Amino acid sequence: MLLEGKVAVVTGASRGIGRAIAETLAAEGASVVVNYQSNAAAAEAVVAGIRERGGQALAVAADVSDMAAAEGLIRAALEAYDHIDIVVNNAGTTRDTLLLSMKEEQWDVVIDTNLKSVFNVCKAAARPMLRRKKGGRIINISSVAGIVGQPGQTNYAASKAGIIGFSKSLAKELGSRGITVNVVAPGFVPTDLTAGLPEDLVKQTLAYIPLGRWGEAQEVAHAVAFLASDRAAYITGEVLRVDGGIGT
């Protein structure tokens, strides 16, 4: 197993890509802190599934767009497992609309949930990771929208592009201490956030994907597991696109 003995914190892990990441890291031997904001039943279902397969997991409620809540999440992880080796920032939301129709609240909630949460969790987790002096892995989930843009998603694309710049800078700050910081940028993947897209729009997206299909949450999770492992020890500040070629 790639991650035996490791401890991972995954934000937004009660569903979709976050759930797949939590389950995959657990399958590779990591003890996983399953963060969620409000859906306790879904988070506990993820934990129960991991435990049934012989893994270790704990659900922790925290709105990671709030600094105090993010700090509480990290404290809970340390109290449960003593240390943290892996942080995966996956929490995210959308409020899609054209810029001229976008309300300030729609901008703010997306920036806070998608980008500020990354700052909050990384800041809270970095100090205990540094104190332990055993390196670590931070993987931040961006999106192909943060690379190529998407109509009706100025808020979302800005938040995801911000994650890339943040991660590249943090990689330079933490690299000398053996902590790598990388980004995974998924393309179109079936999740609750994409479930409401009109069928004609879904068909349009397929025309721009060289592999001719949407991705699967599990495929994103495998990329995260690789970056979380010792096999990626000499990779930092990188953006790994899992997008079927749409970003090329």
DSSP state of 5: T
Paired strand residues for 138: 87, 181
Selection from 164, 174, 175, 70 nearest residue 117 by Cα: 70
Q: How many CA atoms lie within 13 A of 220 on its CB side?
A: 31
DSSP states along 59-77: EEE--TTSHHHHHHHHHHH
**Residues labelled as active-site residues:** 156
Kindly provide the b/e burial profile for residues 234-247, where b requires at least 16 CB atoms within 10 angstroms of the residue's own CB. Answer: eebbbbbbbbbebb
What are the phi and psi torsion angles at 134 (to 5°)? -125, 25
Residue with tokens 């991991």: 50
| Cβ atoms of residues 34 and 91 within 8 Å | no
What are the phi and psi torsion angles at 24 (to 5°)? -70, -40
Instruction: Locate all alpha helices (DSSP H) within 179-228, ordered by sequence.
Output: 199-206, 217-228
